[in-house]
Structure 1
Amino acid sequence: MATDIRQVDEKLDDNLLAALPEGGRVVSVTPSGMSDYCSTYRIEVSMPDRTTQVFFEKEGRGQEGLELTQSAFTSESTAYQFIPEHVPRPIARGTYKSRPDVHFFLAEFFEMIEDDIPRPDSYMSAVAALHSRSMGKSPNGKFGFPVNTRFGNLEQDNSWTDTWEEFWTRQMRDFLEREDAAHAGEHHAELERLRPLFFEKVLPRYLRPLESEGRSVTPCLIHADLWPGNVKYKEDGETVCVYDACAMWGHNEVDLGVFRNPRYPLGKPYLKEYWKQVPISEPEEDVDSRNTLYMLRNQILLSTLYPQDPKLREIVVSNMRLLVERVEAEEVEGAQNNAGPMPHAHL
């Protein structure tokens, strides 16, 4: 157990100190980063051998805080199994002895370069390693995760599911219902028109072929929130640190949706770098549409988190419309081809 030697009125909780190195002395605790849903701290510990160890703490309150820290610990621990060179080592999750309504997640602290988005080769080497090393290692061969994880403070239903189409359809229904609830009282006629078509036409068209005609999706561990705020260079400026996952076992291409999102300065160079290392799922000709489909997840969740920004909802509508129109155009073309040439009139 560590001891808190700071000259302050409120020392670190005993259960948190018990998770820190034996014999260590806490010399500083400072805020670390920004979060809308929890408190985060940098904890510096002086060791008996005169070295210093630094830790990251995420703190949440109440039931939401309990679930948030559980999500963080389980996500980061699972990712660390596969890419330990890129993920800060998770150490503990627990509840304060002095305040039973406060919960914590503790991990190693990495110094990172804040304002530098990693190059495509550095960024995607970590993503490709996570997917390749975890491919086929879902604990029960299914899609899902042992706990429901969090995108911001939005719960993600990770109930174990046998097929990818079933899993993704359930999540999209849930996400769109919550997006609608976040915009309560804001009727959007075009979104109401598109929503049933999205489930009746778009999802079967782009998900079902992945698991038909002898094809299958092998679950791998996906991070599910790979925006640039969660991927930074370590101090060496070469190795990237990947953190703040809302993990699940799913189709690897889900993690690529964020790279298409115009909200982030990423784009095609990052996708091309990934495809150098991981093959495109079959049918390959659908990859662009699947990428748009998976991007929608991120956009729907952002529209839910920030309903005061109407542009976010319009982006959801625009991309949903694009996919619906693409499928309907295919249907028209298919009908025309099946009809064959018009017969000649006999005079």
Structure 2
Amino acid sequence: MATDSRDVEQKLDDALLAVLPDGGNVVSVTPSGMSEYVHTYRIQVSMPDGSSQVFFQKEATGSNGYELMEAAFISESTAHEFIPEFLPKPVTMGTYKSRPNVHFFLSEFVELIEDDIPDPEDYMAPIIALHMRSMGRSPYGPHQWGFSNNTRFGDLEQPNEFKGSWEEFWTGQMKMFLDREEERRGPPDAEYAKLRPLFFEKVLPRYLRPLETGGRSITPTLIHGDLWPGNVRYKTDDTVCAYDSCVLWGHNEVDLGVFRNPRYPLGKAYLKEYWKHVPISEPEEDADSRNNLYMLRNQILLAILYPHDHKLREVFVSNMKLLVHRVLAEEAAAKGSAESLGGPGLQAHL
């Protein structure tokens, strides 16, 4: 057990000291980083041999706080099994003895460079490694999509109940996320109300079902789940760190959706770097549309997190509309129709 001999009124709780290095002494506890959902700290511990060890701590209260800490620990621990060189090593999670309503997550501390977004080769290295090393290694079998625990995107719970097909799992996720968005923002306008059923009836079967039919198949892969630029940074030794995952066993291309989102300064160069190393799922000609489809997840979740930003709904609805129109146009072309994308045949659906 470590000790805390700092001259401060509130020292570290015994539950936290018990999981810090035995014989160590806490020399500093300082705020670290910014979060809208938890308190974060840098804890420096001096060791009897004169060396120091540094840890990162998250802290939150209540039952929701416990679930946040549990999700962080399980998600980060699972990802760390596959990419230990790219992810801070999780230590544990627990509950304070002196304040049983306060919960914590502890990992090693990694010094990051906050301002620089890694270039494509460096940015994609951890996600390429995660996908290549985990593909086909799910402990739940080759036809189970989901995860053993619910994870969190920000503070949003992501239920991950296993399903036997990728289409079934992803359809359930999209329905759940869109329902939650409407609960927070209110009912959709008339256009969106017409788009939503077409999205589920036309778009999802069109771009997800071919992955697992016609002699094709995909393999469950551990996806990170939240690869926005705030979660992938250079370390001070110029290597890259990826963190704050919300993992699940899914289609590896899900992690690429965020790179298409205009909200972030990433884009095609990052996607091209990924495809240098990982094969595109068949049918390959659908890859661009699938990327757009998976981008919707990120955009819908952001719309839930920030319900007062009205443009966020407009953004994901416009991309949903693009996919619906694309599928309807394809169906019209297959029937030999000469109608254009904006023709009356398509508009009849909308």
TM norm structure 1: 0.95
Residue 78 (structure 2) pairs with residue 69 (structure 1): no
Cα distance in 2, alignment partners of residues 23 and 190 from structure 1: 64
Letter in 2 for 1:139: P
Describe the SS at the equivalent of 1:30: strand
Describe the SS at the equivalent of 1:299: helix
| 1:1-347 alignment runs, 5 A limit | 1-141=1-141, 142-184=144-186, 187-237=188-238, 239-336=239-336
Count of aligned residue pairs for this structure pair: 336
Cα distance in 2, alignment partners of residues 246 and 329 from structure 1: 35
Cα distance in 2, alignment partners of residues 192 and 68 from structure 1: 33
Q: 1:304-334: per-residue Cα shift (whole Å, max 9, x none)? A: 1111111111001100000000000000001
Letter in 1 for 2:93: R
Cα distance in 2, alignment partners of residues 134 and 23 from structure 1: 37
Deviates more, 1:188-197 or 1:111-120: 188-197
Contact 1:73–1:92 (CA under 8 A) maintained in structure 2: yes
Cα distance in 2, alignment partners of residues 108 and 188 from structure 1: 47
Letter in 2 for 1:182: R
Describe the SS at the equivalent of 1:320: helix
TM norm structure 2: 0.95
Q: CA deviation at 1:5?
A: 1.3
Describe the SS at the equivalent of 1:216: coil
Cα distance in 2, alignment partners of residues 232 and 188 from structure 1: 39
Cα distance in 1, alignment partners of residues 305 and 191 from structure 2: 21
Contact 1:190–1:317 (CA under 8 A) maintained in structure 2: no
Cα distance in 2, alignment partners of residues 153 and 192 from structure 1: 27
Q: CA deviation at 1:125?
A: 1.3
Percent identity of paired positions between Structure 1 and Structure 2: 69
Describe the SS at the equivalent of 2:100: coil
Q: CA deviation at 1:82?
A: 0.4
Describe the SS at the equivalent of 2:258: helix
Cα distance in 2, alignment partners of residues 78 and 85 from structure 1: 13
Segments of structure 2 that go 5 or more residues without pairing to the other structure are 338-350
Q: CA deviation at 1:6?
A: 1.0
Cα distance in 1, alignment partners of residues 192 and 21 from structure 2: 53
Q: CA deviation at 1:187?
A: 3.9
Letter in 2 for 1:155: E
Contact 1:178–1:304 (CA under 8 A) maintained in structure 2: yes
Q: CA deviation at 1:160?
A: 1.2
Cα distance in 2, alignment partners of residues 181 and 7 from structure 1: 48
Cα distance in 2, alignment partners of residues 166 and 40 from structure 1: 37
Cα distance in 2, alignment partners of residues 187 and 123 from structure 1: 36
Cα distance in 2, alignment partners of residues 57 and 192 from structure 1: 43
Q: CA deviation at 1:161?
A: 1.3
Segments of structure 1 that go 5 or more residues without pairing to the other structure are 338-347
Describe the SS at the equivalent of 1:278: coil
Letter in 2 for 1:192: A
Indicate the RMSD between aligned Cα atoms, in angstroms.
Answer: 1.1
Letter in 2 for 1:273: E
Cα distance in 1, alignment partners of residues 318 and 56 from structure 2: 39
Letter in 2 for 1:183: R
Q: Provide the residue aligned with 2:341 in structure 1.
A: none
Q: CA deviation at 1:157?
A: 1.1
Cα distance in 2, alignment partners of residues 104 and 134 from structure 1: 28
Describe the SS at the equivalent of 2:241: strand
